[in-house]
Amino acid sequence: MTENPRFADFSFFKTFLKKIKKLFLEKSKIFKKVLKNEKSANLGFSVMR
């Protein structure tokens, strides 16, 4: 192996970070949606009482 192992680790780390970021963004979108639904559900519930 002639290439620097640290460099290989770095490129792997970068792709790893990209994947995590993507996952995190999708999760936060879902989380926001859930939060919105929960808020409207709570509003509806308090109105119904």
pLDDT of residue 4: 72
- What's the token pair of residue 3? 């290439």
- Is 14 part of a structural domain of the chain? no
- Is 49 part of a structural domain of the chain? yes
pLDDT of residue 5: 72
Q: What is the pLDDT along the chain (49 residues), one digit of tens a residue?
A: 466 777 778 888 899 999 999 999 999 998 888 888 888 877 776 776 6
pTM (two decimals): 0.49
- The DSSP string of 1-49 is --S-HHHHHHHHHHHHHHHHHHHHHHHHHHHHHHHHHHHHHHHHHHHH-
CA–CA separation, 49 and 42 (whole Å): 11
- Is 36 part of a structural domain of the chain? yes
* The total number of structural domains that make up the chain: 1
